[in-house]
Protein backbone atom coordinates (compact mmCIF):
# COMPACT_ATOMS: atom_id res chain seq x y z
CA UNK A 1 0.00 0.00 0.00
CA UNK A 2 1.38 3.39 -1.01
CA UNK A 3 2.53 5.77 1.66
CA UNK A 4 1.71 9.46 1.87
CA UNK A 5 5.04 9.99 0.10
CA UNK A 6 3.10 8.94 -3.00
CA UNK A 7 2.05 12.55 -3.53
CA UNK A 8 5.46 14.07 -2.79
CA UNK A 9 7.85 15.81 -5.17
CA UNK A 10 10.02 12.69 -5.11
CA UNK A 11 7.12 10.59 -6.43
CA UNK A 12 6.57 12.96 -9.35
CA UNK A 13 10.31 13.03 -10.11
CA UNK A 14 10.43 9.23 -10.14
CA UNK A 15 7.43 9.17 -12.47
CA UNK A 16 8.99 11.73 -14.83
CA UNK A 17 12.40 10.07 -15.23
CA UNK A 18 10.82 6.61 -15.43
CA UNK A 19 8.56 7.79 -18.24
CA UNK A 20 11.51 9.28 -20.13
CA UNK A 21 13.44 6.03 -19.72
CA UNK A 22 10.50 3.98 -20.96
CA UNK A 23 10.09 6.32 -23.96
CA UNK A 24 13.71 5.64 -24.94
CA UNK A 25 13.19 1.89 -24.47
CA UNK A 26 10.05 1.86 -26.58
CA UNK A 27 11.71 3.91 -29.30
CA UNK A 28 14.44 1.28 -29.52
CA UNK A 29 11.91 -1.56 -29.34
CA UNK A 30 10.08 -0.19 -32.43
CA UNK A 31 13.27 0.59 -34.38
CA UNK A 32 12.76 -2.10 -37.03
CA UNK A 33 9.44 -0.51 -38.02
CA UNK A 34 11.49 2.10 -39.91
CA UNK A 35 14.99 0.73 -40.55
CA UNK A 36 13.42 -2.60 -41.51
CA UNK A 37 12.31 -1.04 -44.81
CA UNK A 38 15.82 -0.44 -46.24
CA UNK A 39 16.96 -3.74 -44.68
CA UNK A 40 14.10 -5.50 -46.47
CA UNK A 41 15.22 -4.04 -49.80
CA UNK A 42 18.86 -4.94 -49.18
CA UNK A 43 18.06 -8.54 -48.23
CA UNK A 44 15.16 -8.94 -50.69
CA UNK A 45 12.73 -10.14 -48.00
CA UNK A 46 9.10 -11.03 -48.62
CA UNK A 47 6.28 -9.68 -46.44
CA UNK A 48 6.36 -12.64 -44.04
CA UNK A 49 10.14 -12.39 -43.54
CA UNK A 50 9.78 -8.65 -42.99
CA UNK A 51 7.07 -9.29 -40.40
CA UNK A 52 9.35 -11.74 -38.57
CA UNK A 53 12.22 -9.24 -38.63
CA UNK A 54 10.13 -6.48 -37.05
CA UNK A 55 8.61 -8.88 -34.52
CA UNK A 56 11.78 -10.43 -33.06
CA UNK A 57 12.42 -7.67 -30.48
CA UNK A 58 8.76 -7.89 -29.48
CA UNK A 59 9.11 -11.63 -28.81
CA UNK A 60 12.00 -11.36 -26.34
CA UNK A 61 10.60 -8.20 -24.79
CA UNK A 62 7.38 -10.08 -24.12
CA UNK A 63 8.91 -13.27 -22.75
CA UNK A 64 10.99 -11.44 -20.15
CA UNK A 65 8.06 -9.45 -18.79
CA UNK A 66 6.93 -12.08 -16.30
CA UNK A 67 10.30 -12.59 -14.57
CA UNK A 68 11.01 -8.86 -14.71
CA UNK A 69 7.68 -8.08 -13.09
CA UNK A 70 8.36 -10.58 -10.30
CA UNK A 71 11.90 -9.32 -9.76
CA UNK A 72 10.51 -5.79 -9.55
CA UNK A 73 8.18 -6.90 -6.76
CA UNK A 74 11.08 -8.54 -4.93
CA UNK A 75 14.06 -6.24 -5.53
CA UNK A 76 12.57 -2.89 -6.50
CA UNK A 77 12.10 -1.22 -9.87
CA UNK A 78 15.14 1.06 -9.88
CA UNK A 79 17.81 -1.63 -10.01
CA UNK A 80 15.87 -3.89 -12.39
CA UNK A 81 15.16 -1.05 -14.84
CA UNK A 82 18.83 -0.04 -14.87
CA UNK A 83 19.94 -3.59 -15.67
CA UNK A 84 17.39 -3.95 -18.48
CA UNK A 85 18.49 -0.73 -20.17
CA UNK A 86 22.19 -1.46 -19.71
CA UNK A 87 22.00 -4.97 -21.19
CA UNK A 88 20.23 -3.73 -24.33
CA UNK A 89 22.82 -1.09 -25.28
CA UNK A 90 25.56 -3.38 -26.74
CA UNK A 91 23.07 -5.18 -29.00
CA UNK A 92 21.71 -1.87 -30.28
CA UNK A 93 25.21 -0.72 -31.24
CA UNK A 94 26.18 -4.03 -32.88
CA UNK A 95 23.13 -3.88 -35.14
CA UNK A 96 25.00 -1.38 -37.33
CA UNK A 97 27.45 -4.13 -38.31
CA UNK A 98 24.91 -6.86 -39.15
CA UNK A 99 24.82 -8.00 -42.78
CA UNK A 100 22.87 -11.28 -42.80
CA UNK A 101 19.23 -12.03 -42.01
CA UNK A 102 20.02 -14.34 -39.09
CA UNK A 103 22.23 -11.69 -37.53
CA UNK A 104 19.39 -9.19 -37.56
CA UNK A 105 17.07 -11.76 -35.97
CA UNK A 106 19.56 -12.68 -33.25
CA UNK A 107 20.40 -9.07 -32.35
CA UNK A 108 16.69 -8.25 -32.44
CA UNK A 109 16.14 -10.73 -29.62
CA UNK A 110 18.67 -8.94 -27.40
CA UNK A 111 17.38 -5.49 -28.35
CA UNK A 112 13.95 -6.72 -27.29
CA UNK A 113 15.04 -6.66 -23.64
CA UNK A 114 14.24 -2.95 -23.74
CA UNK A 115 10.59 -3.80 -24.23
CA UNK A 116 10.52 -5.64 -20.93
CA UNK A 117 10.94 -2.31 -19.16
CA UNK A 118 7.17 -1.86 -19.17
CA UNK A 119 6.55 -4.55 -16.57
CA UNK A 120 9.32 -3.01 -14.45
CA UNK A 121 8.21 0.60 -14.51
CA UNK A 122 4.48 0.00 -14.12
CA UNK A 123 4.62 -1.46 -10.58
CA UNK A 124 7.60 0.77 -9.75
CA UNK A 125 5.73 4.04 -10.35
CA UNK A 126 2.36 2.76 -9.11
CA UNK A 127 3.68 2.12 -5.61
CA UNK A 128 4.72 5.75 -5.22
CA UNK A 129 1.08 6.86 -5.48
CA UNK A 130 -2.11 6.23 -3.49
CA UNK A 131 -4.64 3.88 -5.01
CA UNK A 132 -6.91 6.65 -6.25
CA UNK A 133 -4.10 8.03 -8.43
CA UNK A 134 -2.46 4.82 -9.56
CA UNK A 135 -4.42 4.66 -12.81
CA UNK A 136 -3.30 8.16 -13.71
CA UNK A 137 0.31 7.47 -12.68
CA UNK A 138 0.49 4.25 -14.69
CA UNK A 139 -1.14 6.06 -17.59
CA UNK A 140 1.55 8.74 -17.57
CA UNK A 141 4.26 6.08 -17.45
CA UNK A 142 2.56 4.13 -20.22
CA UNK A 143 2.61 7.28 -22.34
CA UNK A 144 6.20 6.25 -22.97
CA UNK A 145 4.60 4.17 -25.73
CA UNK A 146 4.93 7.41 -27.68
CA UNK A 147 8.51 6.28 -28.23
CA UNK A 148 7.01 4.51 -31.24
CA UNK A 149 6.12 7.93 -32.66
CA UNK A 150 9.49 9.43 -31.67
CA UNK A 151 11.12 6.62 -33.64
CA UNK A 152 9.07 7.62 -36.69
CA UNK A 153 10.25 11.22 -36.39
CA UNK A 154 13.95 10.52 -35.82
CA UNK A 155 14.80 7.34 -37.74
CA UNK A 156 13.55 8.36 -41.25
CA UNK A 157 15.55 11.60 -41.15
CA UNK A 158 18.70 9.70 -40.19
CA UNK A 159 18.06 7.01 -42.82
CA UNK A 160 17.68 9.58 -45.61
CA UNK A 161 20.66 11.70 -44.50
CA UNK A 162 23.20 9.07 -43.42
CA UNK A 163 21.81 5.57 -44.09
CA UNK A 164 20.11 3.11 -41.79
CA UNK A 165 23.34 1.91 -40.14
CA UNK A 166 23.70 5.19 -38.26
CA UNK A 167 20.30 4.79 -36.56
CA UNK A 168 21.41 2.04 -34.11
CA UNK A 169 24.48 4.05 -33.15
CA UNK A 170 22.40 7.14 -32.38
CA UNK A 171 19.86 5.04 -30.48
CA UNK A 172 22.58 3.37 -28.39
CA UNK A 173 23.80 6.82 -27.34
CA UNK A 174 20.26 7.95 -26.50
CA UNK A 175 19.69 4.81 -24.43
CA UNK A 176 22.93 5.36 -22.51
CA UNK A 177 21.95 8.94 -21.75
CA UNK A 178 18.48 7.85 -20.61
CA UNK A 179 20.02 5.19 -18.35
CA UNK A 180 22.31 7.70 -16.64
CA UNK A 181 19.47 10.20 -16.18
CA UNK A 182 17.21 7.53 -14.73
CA UNK A 183 19.81 6.21 -12.30
CA UNK A 184 20.77 9.58 -10.85
CA UNK A 185 17.24 11.06 -10.73
CA UNK A 186 15.18 8.07 -9.54
CA UNK A 187 14.91 6.71 -6.00
CA UNK A 188 14.43 3.51 -4.02
CA UNK A 189 11.81 2.85 -1.35
CA UNK A 190 12.46 -0.45 0.51
CA UNK A 191 8.78 -0.66 1.50
CA UNK A 192 7.92 -1.24 -2.16
CA UNK A 193 9.82 -4.53 -2.20
CA UNK A 194 8.31 -7.88 -1.31
CA UNK A 195 9.89 -9.93 1.46
CA UNK A 196 12.79 -12.00 0.24
CA UNK A 197 11.16 -15.19 1.52
CA UNK A 198 8.29 -14.93 -0.99
CA UNK A 199 8.81 -17.55 -3.69
CA UNK A 200 7.99 -17.36 -7.39
CA UNK A 201 5.36 -20.07 -6.90
CA UNK A 202 3.59 -18.02 -4.21
CA UNK A 203 3.55 -14.94 -6.41
CA UNK A 204 2.13 -16.95 -9.32
CA UNK A 205 -0.83 -18.28 -7.31
CA UNK A 206 -2.95 -15.30 -8.32
CA UNK A 207 -2.58 -16.37 -11.97
CA UNK A 208 -5.11 -19.14 -11.37
CA UNK A 209 -7.75 -16.40 -11.29
CA UNK A 210 -9.72 -16.51 -14.60
CA UNK A 211 -9.88 -12.72 -14.58
CA UNK A 212 -6.21 -12.65 -15.55
CA UNK A 213 -6.98 -14.50 -18.78
CA UNK A 214 -9.61 -11.92 -19.61
CA UNK A 215 -7.21 -9.07 -18.99
CA UNK A 216 -4.65 -10.82 -21.19
CA UNK A 217 -7.20 -10.98 -23.99
CA UNK A 218 -8.02 -7.28 -23.71
CA UNK A 219 -4.37 -6.28 -23.61
CA UNK A 220 -3.45 -8.44 -26.57
CA UNK A 221 -5.75 -6.14 -28.57
CA UNK A 222 -5.07 -2.68 -27.20
CA UNK A 223 -1.31 -3.17 -26.75
CA UNK A 224 -0.54 -6.06 -29.10
CA UNK A 225 -2.57 -4.41 -31.85
CA UNK A 226 -0.87 -1.09 -31.16
CA UNK A 227 2.61 -2.62 -31.38
CA UNK A 228 1.76 -4.68 -34.46
CA UNK A 229 0.31 -1.72 -36.34
CA UNK A 230 3.14 0.61 -35.23
CA UNK A 231 5.62 -1.80 -36.80
CA UNK A 232 3.51 -2.30 -39.92
CA UNK A 233 2.16 1.14 -40.81
CA UNK A 234 5.21 2.82 -42.37
CA UNK A 235 5.61 0.11 -44.98
CA UNK A 236 1.80 0.06 -45.43
CA UNK A 237 1.74 3.77 -46.32
CA UNK A 238 4.70 3.30 -48.67
CA UNK A 239 3.09 0.35 -50.45
CA UNK A 240 -0.58 1.39 -50.40
CA UNK A 241 -0.27 5.09 -51.16
CA UNK A 242 3.21 5.28 -52.76
CA UNK A 243 4.57 7.77 -50.23
CA UNK A 244 8.16 8.67 -49.41
CA UNK A 245 9.44 7.00 -46.24
CA UNK A 246 9.58 10.33 -44.38
CA UNK A 247 6.00 11.26 -45.26
CA UNK A 248 4.86 7.70 -44.52
CA UNK A 249 6.51 7.79 -41.10
CA UNK A 250 4.97 11.17 -40.31
CA UNK A 251 1.47 9.93 -41.14
CA UNK A 252 2.06 6.68 -39.27
CA UNK A 253 2.93 8.79 -36.22
CA UNK A 254 -0.66 10.09 -36.30
CA UNK A 255 -1.54 6.64 -34.94
CA UNK A 256 1.50 6.01 -32.75
CA UNK A 257 1.64 9.38 -31.02
CA UNK A 258 -1.92 9.56 -29.62
CA UNK A 259 -1.69 5.83 -28.92
CA UNK A 260 1.10 6.66 -26.50
CA UNK A 261 0.70 10.12 -24.99
CA UNK A 262 -3.05 9.87 -24.37
CA UNK A 263 -2.60 6.83 -22.19
CA UNK A 264 -2.50 9.18 -19.19
CA UNK A 265 -5.96 10.44 -20.13
CA UNK A 266 -7.12 6.84 -20.25
CA UNK A 267 -5.74 6.33 -16.76
CA UNK A 268 -7.64 9.38 -15.49
CA UNK A 269 -10.87 8.17 -17.12
CA UNK A 270 -10.34 4.72 -15.60
CA UNK A 271 -9.89 6.25 -12.15
CA UNK A 272 -13.10 8.26 -12.61
CA UNK A 273 -15.43 5.83 -14.42
CA UNK A 274 -13.82 2.48 -13.73
CA UNK A 275 -11.69 0.15 -15.82
CA UNK A 276 -14.66 -1.88 -17.06
CA UNK A 277 -16.58 1.07 -18.54
CA UNK A 278 -13.58 2.48 -20.36
CA UNK A 279 -12.52 -0.90 -21.78
CA UNK A 280 -16.05 -1.64 -23.04
CA UNK A 281 -16.27 1.58 -25.02
CA UNK A 282 -12.69 1.23 -26.27
CA UNK A 283 -13.52 -2.13 -27.84
CA UNK A 284 -16.60 -0.73 -29.57
CA UNK A 285 -14.74 2.25 -31.04
CA UNK A 286 -11.93 -0.05 -32.20
CA UNK A 287 -14.46 -2.41 -33.79
CA UNK A 288 -16.03 0.40 -35.83
CA UNK A 289 -12.68 1.82 -36.96
CA UNK A 290 -11.33 -1.59 -37.97
CA UNK A 291 -14.49 -2.38 -39.91
CA UNK A 292 -13.97 0.73 -42.06
CA UNK A 293 -10.21 0.20 -42.37
CA UNK A 294 -10.70 -3.41 -43.49
CA UNK A 295 -12.35 -2.51 -46.79
CA UNK A 296 -9.78 -2.87 -49.60
CA UNK A 297 -9.43 -0.55 -52.56
CA UNK A 298 -12.17 -1.80 -54.87
CA UNK A 299 -13.40 -1.07 -58.38
CA UNK A 300 -17.06 -2.10 -58.63
CA UNK A 301 -18.63 -2.49 -62.06
CA UNK A 302 -22.42 -2.20 -62.21
CA UNK A 303 -24.54 -2.97 -65.29
CA UNK A 304 -26.85 0.01 -65.74
CA UNK A 305 -29.45 0.81 -68.43
CA UNK A 306 -26.75 2.90 -70.09
CA UNK A 307 -24.18 0.12 -70.00
CA UNK A 308 -21.48 -0.93 -67.50
CA UNK A 309 -20.44 1.73 -65.02
CA UNK A 310 -17.44 1.42 -62.68
CA UNK A 311 -17.28 2.90 -59.20
CA UNK A 312 -14.20 3.11 -57.01
CA UNK A 313 -14.64 2.32 -53.33
CA UNK A 314 -11.84 2.83 -50.85
CA UNK A 315 -10.29 5.14 -48.28
CA UNK A 316 -8.02 7.91 -49.46
CA UNK A 317 -4.92 8.74 -47.43
CA UNK A 318 -6.69 11.46 -45.44
CA UNK A 319 -9.69 9.38 -44.36
CA UNK A 320 -7.40 6.44 -43.62
CA UNK A 321 -5.13 8.56 -41.40
CA UNK A 322 -8.11 10.06 -39.56
CA UNK A 323 -9.44 6.60 -38.74
CA UNK A 324 -6.00 5.47 -37.60
CA UNK A 325 -5.84 8.51 -35.31
CA UNK A 326 -9.16 7.59 -33.68
CA UNK A 327 -8.02 3.97 -33.35
CA UNK A 328 -4.79 5.13 -31.70
CA UNK A 329 -6.73 7.20 -29.16
CA UNK A 330 -9.00 4.24 -28.35
CA UNK A 331 -6.04 1.90 -27.86
CA UNK A 332 -4.32 4.46 -25.61
CA UNK A 333 -7.36 4.54 -23.33
CA UNK A 334 -7.63 0.77 -23.41
CA UNK A 335 -4.02 0.18 -22.41
CA UNK A 336 -4.53 2.33 -19.33
CA UNK A 337 -7.87 0.79 -18.39
CA UNK A 338 -6.51 -2.77 -18.44
CA UNK A 339 -3.80 -1.88 -15.95
CA UNK A 340 -6.33 -0.08 -13.79
CA UNK A 341 -8.08 -3.46 -13.53
CA UNK A 342 -4.80 -4.93 -12.27
CA UNK A 343 -4.01 -2.23 -9.70
CA UNK A 344 -7.56 -2.52 -8.34
CA UNK A 345 -7.64 -6.32 -8.13
CA UNK A 346 -4.00 -7.15 -7.30
CA UNK A 347 -2.49 -4.26 -5.28
CA UNK A 348 0.08 -6.46 -3.53
CA UNK A 349 1.60 -8.15 -6.57
CA UNK A 350 1.10 -5.72 -9.44
CA UNK A 351 4.47 -6.73 -10.87
CA UNK A 352 3.70 -10.43 -11.28
CA UNK A 353 0.24 -9.87 -12.76
CA UNK A 354 1.28 -6.96 -14.99
CA UNK A 355 4.16 -9.11 -16.21
CA UNK A 356 1.81 -11.87 -17.36
CA UNK A 357 -0.70 -9.46 -18.90
CA UNK A 358 2.17 -7.58 -20.54
CA UNK A 359 3.47 -10.89 -21.86
CA UNK A 360 0.12 -11.58 -23.51
CA UNK A 361 0.04 -8.12 -25.07
CA UNK A 362 3.64 -8.40 -26.22
CA UNK A 363 3.07 -11.81 -27.77
CA UNK A 364 0.16 -10.28 -29.64
CA UNK A 365 2.58 -7.64 -30.93
CA UNK A 366 4.97 -10.43 -31.96
CA UNK A 367 2.45 -12.64 -33.73
CA UNK A 368 0.49 -9.92 -35.51
CA UNK A 369 3.23 -8.51 -37.82
CA UNK A 370 4.05 -12.05 -38.94
CA UNK A 371 0.37 -12.77 -39.58
CA UNK A 372 -0.01 -9.44 -41.38
CA UNK A 373 2.83 -10.41 -43.71
CA UNK A 374 1.55 -13.97 -44.23
CA UNK A 375 -1.95 -12.72 -45.06
CA UNK A 376 -0.58 -10.18 -47.53
CA UNK A 377 1.60 -12.80 -49.21
CA UNK A 378 -1.41 -15.15 -49.35
CA UNK A 379 -4.13 -12.74 -50.47
CA UNK A 380 -2.25 -9.79 -51.94
CA UNK A 381 -4.61 -7.49 -49.98
CA UNK A 382 -2.88 -5.06 -47.63
CA UNK A 383 -6.03 -4.30 -45.64
CA UNK A 384 -6.18 -7.96 -44.59
CA UNK A 385 -4.23 -6.82 -41.50
CA UNK A 386 -7.25 -4.82 -40.38
CA UNK A 387 -9.60 -7.67 -41.23
CA UNK A 388 -7.68 -9.88 -38.82
CA UNK A 389 -7.82 -7.33 -36.00
CA UNK A 390 -11.52 -6.73 -36.66
CA UNK A 391 -12.24 -10.41 -36.04
CA UNK A 392 -10.18 -10.46 -32.84
CA UNK A 393 -12.00 -7.41 -31.44
CA UNK A 394 -15.37 -8.94 -32.32
CA UNK A 395 -14.54 -12.07 -30.32
CA UNK A 396 -13.42 -9.94 -27.37
CA UNK A 397 -16.62 -7.91 -27.39
CA UNK A 398 -18.69 -11.08 -27.20
CA UNK A 399 -16.52 -12.46 -24.39
CA UNK A 400 -16.69 -9.22 -22.42
CA UNK A 401 -20.45 -9.01 -22.77
CA UNK A 402 -21.09 -12.48 -21.38
CA UNK A 403 -18.50 -12.25 -18.57
CA UNK A 404 -18.82 -8.62 -17.45
CA UNK A 405 -21.31 -6.34 -19.16
CA UNK A 406 -24.46 -8.22 -18.18
CA UNK A 407 -23.52 -7.98 -14.52
CA UNK A 408 -21.70 -4.64 -14.26
CA UNK A 409 -22.65 -0.97 -14.40
CA UNK A 410 -21.34 0.88 -17.45
CA UNK A 411 -20.62 4.60 -17.06
CA UNK A 412 -22.77 4.82 -13.97
CA UNK A 413 -25.82 2.96 -15.32
CA UNK A 414 -27.37 0.31 -13.12
CA UNK A 415 -26.99 -3.33 -14.11
CA UNK A 416 -28.74 -6.41 -12.74
CA UNK A 417 -26.99 -8.22 -9.95
CA UNK A 418 -24.68 -11.00 -11.07
CA UNK A 419 -25.61 -14.57 -10.20
CA UNK A 420 -23.50 -16.11 -7.47
CA UNK A 421 -21.27 -18.10 -9.82
CA UNK A 422 -20.19 -14.90 -11.63
CA UNK A 423 -19.26 -12.87 -8.57
pLDDT tens-digit series, residues 74-92: 788 899 999 999 999 999 9
Number of CB atoms found within 10 A of residue 236's CB: 22
The chain-wide mean pLDDT, for the chain, equals 85
| pLDDT higher than threshold 90 for residue 95 | yes
Partners of 302 in the beta sheet? 309
- The highest-confidence range among 21-25, 186-190, 340-344, 361-365, by mean pLDDT, is 21-25
Domains defined for the chain, CATH in brackets = 4-186+207-410 (1.20.1250.20)
Question: For 129-171, what is each residue's pLDDT tens digit?
Answer: 887 777 788 878 888 888 888 998 899 999 999 999 999 999 9
Gap between the Cα atoms of 123 and 138, Å rounded:
8
Whole-Å CA distances, 216 to 72, 204, 223, 269, 351: 20, 15, 10, 20, 14
Q: 303: burial class by Cβ within 10 Å (0-12, 13-18, 19+)?
A: exposed
Gap between the Cα atoms of 236 and 56, Å rounded:
19
Task: Supply the pTM of this predicted model.
Answer: 0.77
Between the two ends of the chain, the Cα-to-Cα distance in Å is: 25
The set of residues, in sequence order, having a beta carbon less than 8 Å from that of 43 and lying 6+ positions away, is 49, 101
Amino acid sequence: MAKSVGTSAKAWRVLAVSTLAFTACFMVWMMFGVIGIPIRKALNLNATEFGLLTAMPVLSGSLVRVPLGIWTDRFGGRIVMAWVMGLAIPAIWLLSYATQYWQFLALGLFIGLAGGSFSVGTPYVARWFPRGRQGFAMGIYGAGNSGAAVNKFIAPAIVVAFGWTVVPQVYAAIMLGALLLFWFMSATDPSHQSAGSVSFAEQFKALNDPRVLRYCQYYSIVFGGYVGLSLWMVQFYVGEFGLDIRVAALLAACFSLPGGVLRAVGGWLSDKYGAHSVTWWVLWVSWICLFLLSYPQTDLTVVTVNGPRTFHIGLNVYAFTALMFVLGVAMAFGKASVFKYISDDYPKNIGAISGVVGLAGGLGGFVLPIMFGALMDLTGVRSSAFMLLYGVVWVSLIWMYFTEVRHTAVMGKDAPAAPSFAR
